[in-house]
Copies of this chain bind each other. A is one copy, B any other.
Amino acid sequence: MYTRAKLIAQIRSKKSFLCVGLDTDIQKIPKHLLDQPDPIFAFNKAIIDATSEFCVSYKINTAFFEAMGAQGWESMKKTFDYIPKDCLSIADAKRGDIGNTSDQYAKAFFETLGADSVTLAPYMGNDSIAPFFKYNGKFGIVLALTSNPGSADYEQQKIGDEFLFEKVLKNTCQLGTPENLMFVVGATKPQEFEIIRKHAQDHFLLVPGVGAQGGSLTEVVKFGRNADIGLLINASRSIIYASSGKDFAEAAALEAKILQEAMAVYC
């Protein structure tokens, strides 16, 4: 059970709207962890312990865990269980399928893994993501406009006088409210945020791409925030791989603290 009010209260209290992304790659974690029984979880636990005072959310990138098979799902489950209850946990899974299949995905992420939220891919239309909005106290976070070059292929194409991502925003708002619906938005241009906030005025936006992907915090806040901040800004690699040595957790804390301090002026 995680609510919008709780998230806003956390943001005000921690003076942060940082989401730490756990893209945990066995190839990239410090070598001294490899003799642990579950190196992936050991890494995540240390990162969470070191950064939780500076962030309000953790985003688990499911691909990195699935690449390790059943053992990876075990590490993922342990990580979800370990995320402090005051932080919003996000399964970055980008799921979406016909109704009876999406029912199963919702069960996988909301019940079996216990995530507070899951990212969703809307290509197949509203009925393919609707099952995720039947849960109380859980969020569906729908892909609208992403920051990769491929966003030009479809998302930024026009259907009539609207962009595809705009149509996604409008249609999806029929499924949920700001209490259970957020959007993934990799926008940095003011015109894009203008469109997004027109349709999703009160919704939280999950913004990737600050840090390793090079996005600017100042620009995103300037154009994207609303009265409740309404932003979760994610940084993954720049925080979790700040050092590959034994000081990785301290280095991660330092990077998270730098971002938190930059955010504090807005909170």
A-B contact pairs, 16 of them (CB 8 A): A63-B97, A64-B101, A66-B112, A67-B104, A67-B111, A68-B108, A68-B112, A69-B113, A94-B97, A122-B153, A123-B123, A123-B155, A125-B146, A125-B152, A154-B164, A157-B159
* B67 and A107 contact, CB distance less than 8 A: yes
A98 CB-CB contact with B under 8 Å: yes
Which A residues, 58 to 94, have Cβ-Cβ distances below 8 Å to chain B? 61, 63-64, 66-74, 77, 94
Please report the C-alpha to C-alpha distance between residue A152 and residue B167 in the assembled complex, in whole angstroms.
Answer: 12
Q: Is the CB of B105 within 8 A of A66?
A: yes
- Tell me if A265 counts as interface (CB < 8 A to partner B): no
**Most chain B beta carbons < 10 A, residue from A25, A63, A64:** A63
Is A36 an interface position by the 8 A CB rule? no
A99 proximal to B (CB < 8 A): yes
A159 to B104, CA, bound (A): 32
What residues on B are CB-neighbors of A126 within 8 Å? 150, 153
Number of interface residues of A (CB under 8 A): 58
Render A140-174 as a binary contact track against B, CB cut-off 8 A, 1 for contact. 00010011111111110111100010011001000
Q: Is A124 interfacial (CB-CB < 8 Å)?
A: yes
- Taking the closest CB of chain B, its distance from the CB of A184, in whole angstroms, is 10
Q: In the bound complex, do residue B154 and residue A125 qualify as a contact, i.e. CB atoms below 8 Å apart?
A: yes
Known A-B contacts A69-B112, A159-B159; A154 and B127 likewise in contact (beta carbons under 8 Å)? no
